[in-house]
Amino acid sequence: MHSLSNYINELNRFSGATNYWFIFLIFAILPLYYSLRKPWQNIFLIVASYVFYGFWDYRFLSLVIITTLLNYFFSSKIHRANDHATKKIILIISLIYNLGILGFFKYYNFFITSFIAAFQSFGFIPHVKILNIILPLGISFFTFKIMGYLVDIYKNKQTPSNLASFALFVSYFPEISAGPIGRAHKFLPQIERRRLIAKEQMFAGAQLILLGLFKKKMIADAIAPYVDQLYSSPQGFMSVALLCGMYLYALQIYADFSGYTDIVRGISKLLGIEIMENFKQPYLSRGISEFWRRWHISLSSWLKDYLYIPLGGNRRGDIRTYINLLITMLLCGLWHGASWTFVIWGGIHGIYLTINRYIKDSLNKRGPTEQANYSNVRLIILILITFHMTSFAWIFFRAPDLATATSYIFSLFNNISPINHASTLLIILTLFYTALVLMIDYPSYRADRELLVTSETPWLWRGVVYALLILSITFIGGSYVKPFIYFNF
């Protein structure tokens, strides 16, 4: 077995390499892909997906294959069961397997160390072994994808596919690393027919790839060194610098994750397969519930459909609704990582959503209200409040541990000093990257679309946008390359 440090180095190498090389590989294999008939197109994509996953670590490829075969068996058994009780038993067994695999790889050490710490606080020293477990790439994403598929079959919303289609659904390489968390009812019908790409689909795919690379290289990776430094020892920085760091990380994680999603959605478009939009200008949200309709949409909608609603949703009274919101968001935090910082981050958002729901319920109880026509000033205030709420919560998400998070917050409110040269530079950088994100997001937000330019945009303006993206990525972007943040989840 490799040491943990060697695995981390391999993951960094993999993440940095796959930022770019596989995009050019896609363009190279497209002619072959489109020359194949439908069944062979699917086989081609399965092989490509397994090669892509095996490039990271071929030993974990066996986990993907075994998980695929077992869940194909579970799906068939659920569908063929003659009575509801048998269906339910098979579903429970399948969920135990999938959650067991996820729990072992992702949460074993977290729960063991928490267990040890709890006993040590009472003076006991339990002898429990900590394992050197490596997290398989994308396990949270393909596990949730599979569980959603099984639940849909159990509820008769989905019929089992053939083994090849299911294997492609699980392993589809644009989605397997960091989502989006695909839904079978949208994905499977697309691969049951031969794909032919239209000119507009090709241009849209290319634009998304360029836009994603721009976000990653020009914004996320450019911001990363400043954020890393501020979070390494927050007690040594002024409040203004830490405030800028809070904003900068909000921009970094958005540009990083939405950039990744743009790239894989663009690649998938080139393959003739549409995968769901995962971001819709979330930092222009006017409230925290709207934020979660715009941020990581595949996860938030999955949690709503397969956790919040089965818990009872808002159908069992106000108190139960608030509890369901808190449970959902706490588990959302835990899904992101085996750390109390993620749990607290999820809990903060659970509190936000609970307060938001309470205010909404209180207003509704006063009588029916008309749709508010907010002034521009009020809209901007609501957007700024929501942005600051989410940015503050990101402190716990970014901090490597609770001690760093508490130190960051304490220093943020206490290290008040006159602005110096370093803080001035951070302010300028924060304003610059904020403006850059707004330049990308605001036109799409106003037009309610995902692309900067469309077929209706004058050709000259389209050419300018493509040229600026290509030149920026090629000549302006720095050499500092960070792994995609969500590769860790």
Token pair of 84 as six digits: 């509801």
- Asked if residues 239 and 411 have their Cβ atoms less than 8 Å apart, the reply is yes
Which residue, chain included where needed, has tokens 């994750």?
257
Nearby residues of 198 by Cβ (< 8 Å), 6 or more positions away:
none
Sole residue written with tokens 């990083």: 256
Query: For residues 242, 336, 61 and 15, what is the CA-based torsion angle, rounded to 10 degrees?
Result: -20
Total Cβ atoms within 10 A of residue 101: 17
> DSSP code of 488?
G
- 225, two tokens: 């060194």
Task: Give the tokens for residue 288.
Answer: 């925290």
Q: How many CB atoms lie within 10 A of CB 278?
A: 24
Active site residue 336: yes
Q: Give the Å distances, CA to CA, from 439 to 472, 474, 475.
A: 15, 20, 20
- Measured distance between the N- and C-terminal CA atoms of the chain, rounded to whole angstroms: 22
Catalytic residue among 79, 185, 336, 349: 336
Question: What is the rounded distance in angstroms from the CA atom of residue 425 to the CA atom of residue 459?
Answer: 38
- Compute the distance between CA of residue 389 and CA of residue 384 in angstroms, rounded to an integer: 9
Whole-number Å distance between alpha carbons of 294 and 315: 24
Give every CB contact of residue 236 below 8 A, 6+ residues apart in sequence. none
Residues acting as catalytic residues: 336
